[in-house]
A and B are shown apart, each in its own frame.
Chain A
Amino acid sequence: MLFPTTSFFFFFLCVFVGFWYVFRRSLDRRIFLIAASYVFYAFWDWRFCFLLLASTAANYGFGLLVGGNRDHVWRKTFMILSVVFNVIVLGFFKYYTIFAETSNGLLALHTSASFRLPVIYILLPVGISYFTFKCMSYVFDVYLCKMPPVRSFLDVMLYVSFFPQIASGPIVQASEFIPQIDKAVSSGIDPYEKPIEFDRATLLILSGLIKKMVFANFISTLLVDPVFSGLASAGPLAALFAALGYAVVIYCDFSGYSDMAIGIALLLGFDTPANFNRPYVSFSVTEFWKRWHITFSSWLKNYLYFSMGGSRFGTIRTLFALFFTMVIGGLWHGASVPFLVWGAMQGAALAIERAFGYGNTRSPRLPVAIAQTAGSFLFVVVSWLVFRARSLAEIGLFFRAVFPFLPGTQSAVDTSSSTASTSFIFSPVVLILVFIGLAMHAVPGSVRGHLSQAYRLLPLPVKGVCIALVLALISVVSMSGVAPFIYFSF
């Protein structure tokens, strides 16, 4: 069940009414929200609800064991056991098949042994990477004494399964979410109480819808997909423009989903930290990772980078920690060579910037600052090409399209004969959308603040009419079908 669908609208309507009007006690509301979250998850595949429950129960137990022990050795032992457990769960569903395939291939190639690992093909549970990281966050936060172990199993269940965040994040850390639960589930009982940040929620949901249904869908359908599906016949300009377009698509697709998730959580009284903050204005890769998928990069920094020593043990160790953290970050997206290369690229860039003391301050001189931003953006765009590719060969195809004088270009066998789709690549609508998709990053936070302030001044009924008008305009321009979200694959 995707957010911008009729099914989700009706589902959320039921949850909203149930949460604020039907169930008035905190315990009832907790149970109701958990039930709603499991129902939401079951829409994909009900069998994985048991996996979600088992994973939650195990980590709840680990949390108690870690938090209930005063002996540091035992605390650490249980924490490590929890990591092993979660890595096994994630690894089995996400990486085992490719591991077995690769191992069997190597065994066949280099040995005469008949032993082969069994290859099991299991459907990847939706959001497993997200909820596993949330589970780990809970045990880590208890271990790091950021919060005491939670006695209520319901609270841990709610944290892990909370439906706005389960399918595609944001990866809210346990110490940020769990303390909110009590307040959220006990608010709104008094009729004069105002627990819902409605204006922020609606602005986020509407901006998420526009990003997804206008920018991501349009650019993806009219530019990125046609060019990338026929790379060998694409000209250099079309290939470069598609690369630029993909940078806009991945931002609008993912940040659009995050905006909607944050907005929906706000309507239930839960505050979620921002996941994106105009990432393409970053003047360095270091800054980019403070602005892109912030909850994920915070998770990596707090739990992985710091656990490897962070910057406490000298330059070499710091650089290694940076590099390794991002390699893991790449593999988190999936077990493939392009993801590994993508992670290594990010890690290498962060390590190089750290080694040269670059990346923490923007140059005061405008031309230099522009060059810094352009350089960082170029690096990010190239890294997205690697991220998007299914194989290294596909990356090669792209560079052959951009540099037609490279050897092997003439032997291209690809054709692009899909109907009218290629005729829109340089159409005005695509050019405008790509331009706005990039230019929106340059709009300062203060301008956005003024705009949202102006919206807040409107009387409530007028806000309702405005929401309807925006939805109507989206329906005017939107595609006829529902396109999937890119980050659901993880």
Chain B
Amino acid sequence: MEKKDAYSPNGVALATGIAVLTFVILSGTTLWIPASRLQNLHLRSIALSFSEAASAVSTMTRLDRPLPYLRSGFLEATGLSAHPSWDERYYNKRSNYADSNKHPAADPAASPDSVLRTATGRQDLSVPIAPEGSVIDTASTGALPAGFPPAEPRFNMVHSSENPLKVYMFGDSQVFSLGSGLSRLAGKDSPVSVEFLAIHSSGFVRWDYYSWPDKLDDYFSSNPCDAAVMMLGMNDYQSFWNSRGEIMKKGTPEWEAAYREKCGRIIDRVLMSVPRIYWVSMPLVKNSEYNETLEYIDKVQDDICESWSPDLVVRIRLRDAIPGTGKPYTDFLTSPLGNQVRVMSEDGSHFTVEGGQIAMKPLFDRLARDYLFSEVPVAKFPD
């Protein structure tokens, strides 16, 4: 027997068509957001073209006005506009789509590119690795910029639980566990204070999805820090469009050059506010295909890192901590307290919080060496 609410495929197609049309008209200019999430560049291009045409119609009729008002009203009323997962200031920035060169921090004329980076690369640096508590003379690594003075060196400051070393960690979803791990290592009332921000699926490549340059601009302008820890790259093995509309095909020299530029902009931006960046490398993951791409990203990032003084940008190798140098992938490790702990989550890509603690131990030790403390920071592990 035919059911009462049953329809023919034509009926369903009609209702779906009306629903899609109404949604498209209401969404207007924001329609590019779901289109921009498509992985395949060609499909994305088609969807974006379609969204352009559709949004032109809805903009003309002004039917796309209510939704943005409703959204901003909702976010203001609930206070979610200040929450990292809803913060409209940094997510879905169309101006950054295929056009990241237009970002103010990336203005070639004002680019600190030529300023903080050494002209000849890392090997030829005259500045040695900073001894404990020494003041790094960043000026000696290159000419000081006119408009972008590097961050005030604060290596000679003595830190204590009253005046803790302020560390800001930012990056992709991996920072949930790494940030928590570093926080737990530091513990309560510690001479090291950790704040972290993890944004799912973010990276150096897709500033249209999450604009790290904007976020870092805003954050560092009001939050002075002693060190920044950066973990980005796990979502970066993807092709993208450059500012001239050309496809930067992943794995090609052109892609690497464009990627280098994107990384450089973030690093230089951070170095304007923070005297030193600890750049966390890619982890060893279970999926061998994914692992190969991460190794590639790691290699590219290593090369990029060479452009800065090792006193300014310090590379922290996760694989040396988990699973250990030269060792194969593992889900479990023995903690410094002798317990067998699960270090990788079920997906085989993200650390557990306990894994984050172990992975961040070398960084914690490095912080303890690189800065002056009146009381030696002690890494804390769970009972």
Contacts and interface: CB of A to CB of B under 8 A. Distances in A.
Contact of A101 (B3, B84, B332): B332
B348 A121 contact: yes
Interface in B277-330: 286-287, 328-330
Given A420-B83, A464-B18, A414 B183 contact: yes
B222 interface: no
B15 A417 contact: no
A193 B8 contact: yes
A197 interface: yes
B188 to A, nearest CB: 5
Contacts of A482: 37, 200-201
Given A196-B6, A471-B23, A229 B353 contact: yes
A222 B85 CA distance: 9
A121 B183 contact: no
B251 interface: no
B12 interface: yes
A472 interface: yes
B80 interface: yes
B342 A197 contact: no
List the 4 shortest-distance A-B pairs measured between CB atoms, nearest first: A464-B18, A468-B22, A20-B9, A199-B5
A391 interface: yes
Contacts of A5: 34, 37
A424 interface: yes
A267 interface: yes
A116 interface: no
A53 B61 CA distance: 51
B180 A198 contact: no
A419 B12 contact: no
A428 interface: yes
A316 interface: no
A390 B345 CA distance: 9
Given A467-B15, A481-B200, A191 B10 contact: yes
A310 interface: no
Interface string B63-80: 000010011001000111
Interface of A: 5-7, 9-10, 16, 20-21, 45, 97-98, 101, 105, 119, 121-124, 188, 191-200, 202, 221-222, 225, 229-230, 233, 267, 334, 336, 390-391, 393, 397, 408, 411-421, 424, 427-429, 456, 460-461, 463-465, 467-469, 471-473, 475-477, 479-483, 489
A417 B286 contact: no
24 contacts: A16-B12, A45-B287, A121-B330, A122-B286, A194-B6, A196-B11, A221-B85, A233-B188, A390-B354, A393-B383, A417-B196, A421-B84, A424-B80, A424-B83, A456-B5, A460-B7, A465-B19, A468-B19, A472-B23, A475-B27, A476-B70, A480-B91, A480-B210, A481-B85
B67 A475 contact: yes
B258 to A, nearest CB: 24
Given A5-B37, A465-B19, A471-B23, A197 B3 contact: yes
A121 B354 CA distance: 19
A463 B195 CA distance: 48
Main secondary structure of the interface of A (DSSP, over half): helix
A202 B6 CA distance: 12
Given A6-B47, A194-B6, A196-B6, A98 B30 contact: no
A464 B17 contact: yes
B335 to A, nearest CB: 11
A375 B383 CA distance: 32
B95 to A, nearest CB: 16
Given A121-B328, A198-B6, A415-B184, A393 B196 contact: no
Query: Which interface residue of A200, A413, A424, A465 has the most chain B CB atoms within 10 A?
Result: A413
B340 to A, nearest CB: 7
A464 B184 CA distance: 51
B7 A101 contact: no
B139 to A, nearest CB: 33
B11 A460 contact: yes
Given A121-B330, A415-B183, A468-B22, A463 B6 contact: no
A16 B18 CA distance: 16
Query: Which interface residue of B18, B200, B381 has the most chain A CB atoms within 10 A?
Result: B18
Contacts of A101: 331-332
B128 to A, nearest CB: 33
Nearest to A97: B331
Contacts of A465: 18-19, 22
Nearest to B219: A419
B331 A98 contact: yes
Nearest to B88: A480
Query: Which interface residue of A119, A418, A461 has the most chain B CB atoms within 10 A?
Result: A418
B5 A200 contact: yes
Contact of B12 (A192, A198, A390, A415): A198
Given A222-B83, A465-B19, A417 B195 contact: yes
Contact of A408 (B5, B183, B383): B383
A301 to B, nearest CB: 27
Query: Which interface residue of A7, A98, A334 has the most chain B CB atoms within 10 A?
Result: A7
B201 A198 contact: no
Given A194-B11, A419-B196, A479 B19 contact: no
Contacts of B80: 424, 429
B82 interface: yes
B249 to A, nearest CB: 20
B329 A121 contact: yes
Nearest to A5: B37
Contact of A479 (B17, B34, B85): B85
Contacts of B7: 194, 196, 198, 460
Given A121-B329, A463-B15, 9 more contacts: A6-B47, A7-B37, A97-B331, A123-B286, A192-B8, A198-B15, A397-B382, A418-B196, A429-B79
Given A98-B331, A222-B83, A460-B15, A7 B38 contact: yes
A307 to B, nearest CB: 29
Contacts of A413: 184, 187-188, 380-382
B244 interface: no
A252 to B, nearest CB: 17
Contacts of B20: 468
